[in-house]
Structure 1
Amino acid sequence: MANRSLTLSAPAKINLYLGVHTERDARGYHRVDSLMAAVGLADTVTVAPAQALTVQTVPASDFPMQKNTAYRAAVAMAEHYGHEANVCVTIEKRIPLCAGLGGPSTDAAAVIVALAELWGIDRADPTLDDIARGIGADVPFFLHASPAFYVGGGDVLAAEYPALPATPVVLVKPREASVSTIEAYRRFDEAPVPATALGAIASALRMGDAKTAYSLIHNNLGVISAQMEPQIQTVLDWLRAQEGIIAVDVCGSGACSFAICDTATTAADLITAARQNGWWAVATELISNTVRIVDSKK
């Protein structure tokens, strides 16, 4: 393995469309249609040579590193390609956990990208997608361009679309709110919420019509999450009442919500007000890239 360190930007994602369906595949996973877009809020992942595989987070996490998605990704890469994953992975966390922003997934993707680079593996190798899929449904997205459409269990790439404008986005999460994705799906099965038709937003994205695409944003699992965690609904209602807001919805299964804004000034004012309400909030924007290498050192 090349004796060098790589630093990667591992961005968060939002769902422009999330359609969960009652039917399941052979694995027992719900059929999920997911249109995802990356945003500028990102973890920084550094992969450096080491005597053995270690993963650490900043700030430190309180669970064993072997359960970290980045650790699992490194092990899976090593097993498949027959290499020793003798690296130290350091993850500077900015993406909150239990938010629906894909933090653990993007960190895992960053490790896959880093090891592929260090081992001379073509990033276009479809095996990388298979490895990513084995770690989590959202992981493959972070290996490709943004925005993109995923089918199957939300983990199979179906289409990539032209880059969206660098539109301002505000992310807001009640600090103590948390939603179990497993429980959200269980509640969905008890009382399914129909998904809107996918065709219109997919067509708008194909044509690069951002304005129409934003008007069609939808997440039927987010409805369940807001029922489970009333603070999510409080945030949604508050965001929708603000001026300059183009679209609002839940990020994945929550507990974070997002608002697409008309201007950066609107976004800045919004996070100030959200923080005054005691919520975690950041202003960011839509970006066209997903995981990328930002530095390489011998």
Structure 2
Amino acid sequence: MTDRSLILTAPAKINLYLGVHTERDARGYHRVDSLMAAVGLADTVTVAPAPALTVQTIPASDFPMQKNTAYRAAIAMAEHYGRDANVCVTIEKRIPLCAGLGGPSTDAAAVIVALTELWGIDRADPALDDIARGIGADVPFFLHSSPAFYVGGGDVLAAEYPVLPATPVVLVKPHETSVSTVEAYRRFDESPVPADKPGAIASALRAGDAEAAYALVHNNLGVISAQMEPRIQTVLDWLRAQEGTVAVDVCGSGACSFAICDTVATAAHLAGAAQQNGWWACATELIPNTVQIDAPKK
């Protein structure tokens, strides 16, 4: 362990494709095909030497730090590599929780990346993906490039694709709205919504045809989330009615939705209009990288 401190950018993600299936794996998890892309909205994670492991968030969270995914990631890294995770992790939260944007997952990945750097571990060590998978299905994505396709329980890397253009995106979430992922899957099991096959969007991404890929955006779990929480459906309907939206869908299991936009100006205008409607909103763009080390902290 060095005495360095690291500052990392931990970006959010959207699902360009999410296909949930009724069959389950040996763990009891649904088979999930997930095609994710990172966006510019990000938490800032600082990892600094400390006498013992602590995790704090800004603003402060209302649950014990031991339940934070970043804490769990540090403990899992320490156990696997036989090290002491004597660091203070500070997470400046900008990604809203209960949104489907992967906030807890990207924070956990940032801690894995930081400890990998501080402990001199090879980033290509396959154990890192296993550690990430043990924290949450989306965590491995944030250790790799964007966009990428995951299979299994949505946690096994199947393919990485050419970088997408810096496409404008607006994110919109009704305040005080959340969807229990567990409950969404339970409702899905009661009334499964068939998933489109991912082959076409995967082919478009492989060919670097972003326009064709955006036309194939799909999320069959989002249908369930919108049924569970009508305010999500209200946001989806509103976004789809706006000029300049290229594709609209739910982020993961919600409660945030996204619209890929034709211009930066459209995304900014829609974010402002959504806020006027009383919703949380953010204009951002697709980015090629996931968790990144910014610089040592001075």
Q: TM-score, normalised by structure 2?
A: 1.00
Give 3-state SS (helix, strand or coil) of 2:99's partner: coil
SS of residue in 2 equivalent to 1:140: helix
Partner of 2:222: 222
**Counterpart in the other structure of 2:258:** 258
Cα displacement string for residues 55-81 of structure 1 (whole angstroms, at most 9, x for unaligned residues): 000000000000000000000000000
Aligned amino acid, residue 190 of structure 1: E
1:236 aligns with 2:241: no
Q: State the alpha-carbon separation in 1 of the partners of residues 89 and 221 from structure 2.
A: 33
Shift of 1:295: 1.1
Aligned partner of 1:5 in structure 2 is 5
Does residue 173 (structure 1) correspond to residue 173 (structure 2)? The answer is yes
Distance of 2:84 and 2:261 partners within structure 1: 46
How does 1:147-186 map onto structure 2 within 5 Å?
Answer: 147-186=147-186
Q: What is the identity, as a one-letter code, of the residue corresponding to 2:127?
A: T
Does 2:135 match 1:135?
Answer: yes
The alignment status of 1:271 with 2:267, answered yes or no, reads no
Instruction: Provide the secondary structure at the position in 2 that maps to 1:282.
Output: strand
> SS in structure 1 opposite 2:233?
helix
Q: What is the identity, as a one-letter code, of the residue corresponding to 1:106?
A: T
Tell me which amino acid in the other structure corresponds to 1:33: D
| Deviation at residue 297 of structure 1 after TM alignment | 3.6
User: For the residues of structure 2 that align with 1:297 and 1:48, how far apart are their CA atoms?
Assistant: 8
Distance apart, 1:124 and its partner CA: 1.2
- Give 2:197's aligned amino acid: A
In 2: Cα distance, 1:263 partner to 1:37 partner: 18
Query: Counterpart of 2:289 in 1: which secondary structure?
Result: coil
Q: Distance in 2 between matches of 1:237 and 1:161?
A: 30
**For 1:283 and 1:34, how far apart are their aligned partners in 2?**
23
CA RMSD in angstroms, aligned pairs only: 0.5
Q: Which amino acid in 2 is paired with 1:151?
A: V
* Matching of residues 71-150 of structure 1 within 5 Å: 71-150=71-150
> Partner letter of residue 236 of structure 2?
L
5+ residue gaps, structure 1, are: none
SS in 2 for 1:7: strand
Cα deviation per residue 1:125-148 (whole Å; 9 max; x = unaligned)? Answer: 110000000000000000000000
Q: Distance in 2 between matches of 1:176 and 1:239?
A: 19
Segments of structure 2 that go 5 or more residues without pairing to the other structure are none
Q: What's the % identity of the aligned pairs?
A: 87
Q: Counterpart of 2:155 in structure 1: which amino acid?
A: D
Q: CA–CA distance in 2 between the matches of 1:42 and 1:297? A: 18
Tell me the CA shift for residue 168 of structure 1.
Answer: 0.3
Residue type at the aligned position of 1:200: A
Structure 1 segments (4+ residues) deviating >2 Å? none
| Distance in 1 separating the partners of 2:124 and 2:38 | 19
Match of 1:53 in 2: 53
Task: Report the Cα distance in structure 1 between the residues aligned to 2:23 and 2:215, rounded to whole angstroms.
Answer: 27
